[in-house]
Chains A and B, each alone.
Chain A
Amino acid sequence: MAYNINHLRELEAEAIFIMREVAAQFEKPAILFSGGKDSILLTHLAKKAFFPAKIPFPLVHIDTGHNFPETIEFRDYLAAKLDLKLIVASVQEAINSGLAVEEKGANASRNVAQIPALLKAIEDNQFDALMGGARRDEEKARAKERFFSHRDEFSQWDPKNQRPELWNIFNGKKQWGEHFRIFPISNWTELDVWQYIAKENIELPQTYYSHVRPCILRNGTILAVSEFVQPRDGEEVKDMQVRFRTMGDATITGAYLSDADTMDKIIQEVASARETERGNRADDKRSETAMEDRKKEGYF
């Protein structure tokens, strides 16, 4: 008797179970869509979960205004292809209206400024559940995250007072004004994600594959030259063959030298990587508990 399924199928079954629970337990759920591979994966899983019906969630993008153009292009393409409603919350608008404050200084980023824009989008649209592609293997504060993560009326995460989560039973009960953050792919690792993307032949923005683009080296990190990243004194612009392991803001997402231009090569590269994928994200390097601090405030 061989009634068993492999690890990718089991992770898939778990994620789909959770998405169906979200559809059943909440009134206004949405997918938080960053344009990165994890949220693309989430959208793919949602399509499988509800087939042949349409995905019952809109996509919500918190647009920092500092995106790679490929990310925005792909976002619009995917939403149109799946016929999904796309809600864009602009960080620039939040800054203009005084809701968020632009960081100052040479290494300023809009990472923290996303929080007020996100919270406003939740209030404006009255979302009661937001699904994200965060994984527990990414970062130590995320390792403690629940699948169903409760947020109070201030959208705060209280890591010391989380609801216990037992078996496959998910308690989505809440008071008026509270909401949940939901992480269907909590148990996936970076390698699982890539193996699954390869197996399912999921379309991704070209930035994930090796390509040549003008880059600079800053504080040991390779940054792509763009509207938002211009060379400073002493920095030399060079064409480099790179790819990205994660896609965040163009200002903080480091590229890797790589010739992995096919899915198989990417998997080989990920399997032999010596650094975590967020190891090159300036937002997490700020302090030991940078992620935990941001999450408590309402960050994803």
Chain B
Amino acid sequence: MSDQQEIFNAESYSKMELLRFTTAGSVDDGKSTLIGRLLYDSKSIFEDQMEAVRSSSERRGDENINLALVTDGLKSEREQGITIDVAYRYFSTPKRKFIIADTPGHIQYTRNMVTGASTANLAIILVDARHGVVEQTKRHSLIASLLGIPHVVICINKMDLVDWNEDAYNAIKNDYKQFSSKLNVKDVNFIPISALLGDNVVNESEHMDWYKGSTLMYHLENVHIANDHNHIDSRFPVQTVIRPHSDEFHDYRGYAGRVAGGIFKKGDDVTVLPSGFTSKIKSVEFAGEELEEAYSPMSITMTLEDNVDVSRGDMIVRTGNMPEISQDIDAMVCWMDDKNPLKINGKYSLFHTTKNCRCVVKEIIYKMDVNNLHKMEDDKNISLNDIGRIKIRTTQPLFFDAYNKNRITGSFILVDEANNVTVGACMIRS
């Protein structure tokens, strides 16, 4: 990492951005090798980690150092050689810090993929150049689209096994484009790689002159992510009210929260939901410092000109820029409970932004076949890893936007009231 010594000075890291991406794949498609390669070639694997992997490979009787072991954590995962849970990995280059949500790709782990995808800016989907677009590719793409991941990179891997052939690459690319036209993904890129040999991962390939695009690392470092947040519709879910009770701040009432959308400035006319009270923003501040403006994903404290009643679960919005307000919600759900299926007429606890209420499932409209996007209207049994469309009614109105407009105000979770386990991940439809 000697080259990084020069580079990590205060000037450069003050401009570093954070990119969260997810990788999904099965045992054999080279996902772990790809992650190992990204970490290794960006010099992010430490010597003691490498030493642990080396000795572990030896003990298992692996012929070579098994880079996949870098990404395995739990005892049972190492024994079985698979990833069960979402594991988070970190690396950085002088341009960006990266968080990888490494998720297993098999259908029985759909819930883990959904979890990893929920916070990602970008998804890497691996396709084996020998096999092309398969069911699994479609499932991963559907999840990326459903979870609203703004950028998708299709890495056509194992190009070394098809003699670095351009036609093979183009055929897969065209195939994928045809299938993905039905999906809602705005930005798709294709990169031919060999994770095993490192071609087009961090370093440019010497085997594929015909490919004029960028390497995966270059893409990760440069893809434009500043607009991934909604900066149009002003949404501020109140987390907690700050009241110091000290002499100096006797009448201080600060509304603490994280901006979920839009831009808030001093002097803005705002409305508090659900009360409908209106006021003006007196200050936008953070840790005692006044800010000119605040936007997602900043955590701030806001004070208002008038002493109106505001508490946790309320939402402050710009007057004239209202979210939808309703107790009847139409949403896609991914079911995460391994014990019980989703119950029609079942009651669940619901968490939406900073609001917590109850709801009843009124209708299951269809279950989706995650392998081909077919809507199965006669199969309404939604159990672990299933995705479907439901209608619910809540005990209190929610203030929301469609998920495709805002991933924060458009998402909620369902919690089993008996054991408090998170059982459903939901995305509100427009």
Chain A contacts to B: CB under 8 angstroms: 1-14, 16-17, 20-21, 23-24, 47-54, 136-137, 140-141, 143-144, 159-160, 162-171, 173-175, 186-187, 189, 191-192, 195, 198-199, 264, 267-268, 271-276, 279, 288-289, 292
Closest to A271 in B: B8
Closest to B2 in A: A272
The distance from the CB of A274 to the nearest CB of chain B, in whole angstroms, is 5
Please state if B46 and A143 are interface contacts (CB–CB under 8 Å): no
Please state if A12 and B299 are interface contacts (CB–CB under 8 Å): yes
Please state if A175 and B229 are interface contacts (CB–CB under 8 Å): no
Q: Considering residues A11, A271, A274, which has the most beta carbons from chain B within 10 angstroms of its beta carbon?
A: A271
Closest to B88 in A: A136
CA distance A9 to B87 in the complex (A): 23
Partner of A271, one of B4, B97, B239, B421: B4
CA distance A2 to B5 in the complex (A): 29
Determine, out of B167-175, B211-219, B240-248, B364-372, the stretch whose residues face the partner at the interface.
B240-248
Please state if B256 and A20 are interface contacts (CB–CB under 8 Å): yes
Please state if B87 and A144 are interface contacts (CB–CB under 8 Å): yes
The distance from the CB of A52 to the nearest CB of chain B, in whole angstroms, is 5
Chain B facing A: main interface SS: mixed
Q: Residues of A contacting B277 with CB < 8 Å? A: none
Please state if B295 and A3 are interface contacts (CB–CB under 8 Å): yes
B1-52 interface with A by 8 A CB criterion: 1-2, 4-5, 7-10, 13-18, 46-49, 52
Partner of B1, one of A49, A159, A273: A273
Partner of B85, one of A49, A144, A167: A144
Please state if B92 and A160 are interface contacts (CB–CB under 8 Å): no
Please state if B48 and A141 are interface contacts (CB–CB under 8 Å): no
Please state if B88 and A187 are interface contacts (CB–CB under 8 Å): yes
Residue B336 lies at the interface, judged by CB distance under 8 Å to chain A: yes
Partner of B229, one of A3, A143, A170, A189: A3
CA distance A207 to B425 in the complex (A): 46
Please state if B74 and A20 are interface contacts (CB–CB under 8 Å): no
The distance from the CB of B17 to the nearest CB of chain A, in whole angstroms, is 6
Pick 13 A–B contacts, CB within 8 A, sort by A.
Answer: A6-B17, A7-B17, A13-B297, A21-B354, A53-B249, A143-B89, A166-B413, A167-B119, A169-B412, A271-B1, A271-B4, A271-B7, A288-B78
Number of A-B contacts (CB under 8 A): 205
Please state if B415 and A171 are interface contacts (CB–CB under 8 Å): yes
Partner of B74, one of A5, A192, A276, A292: A292
Please state if B119 and A289 are interface contacts (CB–CB under 8 Å): no
Tally B residues with Cβ within 8 Å of A.
88
Determine, out of B110-118, B137-145, B267-275, B318-326, the stretch whose residues face the partner at the interface.
B110-118
Partner of A53, one of B47, B89, B227, B244: B244
CA distance A12 to B56 in the complex (A): 36
Partner of A171, one of B2, B257, B422: B422
Partner of B298, one of A13, A48, A175, A273: A13
Given contacts A144-B74, A170-B351, A186-B88, 6 further A-B contacts (CB under 8 A): A12-B299, A50-B256, A168-B408, A187-B90, A274-B47, A275-B48
Partner of B336, one of A137, A164, A170: A164
The distance from the CB of B397 to the nearest CB of chain A, in whole angstroms, is 18
Q: Residues of A contacting B92 with CB < 8 Å? A: 7, 189, 191
Nearest first, the 8 closest Cβ-Cβ pairs linking A and B are: A279-B48, A173-B420, A48-B287, A271-B8, A7-B18, A13-B299, A4-B226, A53-B244
Q: Residues of B contacting A137 with CB < 8 Å? A: 90
CA distance A216 to B358 in the complex (A): 61
The distance from the CB of B198 to the nearest CB of chain A, in whole angstroms, is 21
Residue B258 lies at the interface, judged by CB distance under 8 Å to chain A: yes
Please state if B312 and A24 are interface contacts (CB–CB under 8 Å): yes
Q: Considering residues A11, A162, A173, which has the most beta carbons from chain B within 10 angstroms of its beta carbon?
A: A173
Closest to A5 in B: B298
B222-248 interface with A by 8 A CB criterion: 225-227, 229, 231, 239-240, 242-246, 248
CA distance A198 to B415 in the complex (A): 41
Q: Residues of B contacting A49 with CB < 8 Å? A: 256, 287, 299
Please state if B298 and A9 are interface contacts (CB–CB under 8 Å): yes
Q: Residues of A contacting B351 with CB < 8 Å? A: 169-171
Residue B179 lies at the interface, judged by CB distance under 8 Å to chain A: no
Closest to A16 in B: B299
Q: Residues of A contacting B354 with CB < 8 Å? A: 21, 24
CA distance A51 to B420 in the complex (A): 32
CA distance A2 to B227 in the complex (A): 9
CA distance A64 to B166 in the complex (A): 63
Please state if B73 and A164 are interface contacts (CB–CB under 8 Å): no
Please state if A3 and B18 are interface contacts (CB–CB under 8 Å): no
Tell me whether A2 and B288 are in contact in the complex, defined as CB-CB below 8 angstroms, given that A11-B18, A21-B239 are known contacts: no
Q: Residues of B contacting A144 with CB < 8 Å? A: 73-74, 85-87
Q: Considering residues A20, A170, A268, which has the most beta carbons from chain B within 10 angstroms of its beta carbon?
A: A20
CA distance A20 to B353 in the complex (A): 13
The distance from the CB of A275 to the nearest CB of chain B, in whole angstroms, is 5
Closest to B86 in A: A144
Q: Residues of B contacting A164 with CB < 8 Å? A: 111-112, 114-115, 336, 422, 425
Residue B185 lies at the interface, judged by CB distance under 8 Å to chain A: no
Closest to A48 in B: B287
B322-376 interface with A by 8 A CB criterion: 336, 349, 351-354
Please state if A24 and B239 are interface contacts (CB–CB under 8 Å): yes
Q: Residues of B contacting A51 with CB < 8 Å? A: 242, 287-288, 301
Q: Residues of A contacting B301 with CB < 8 Å? A: 51
Closest to B419 in A: A175
Q: Residues of B contacting A288 with CB < 8 Å? A: 52, 56, 78
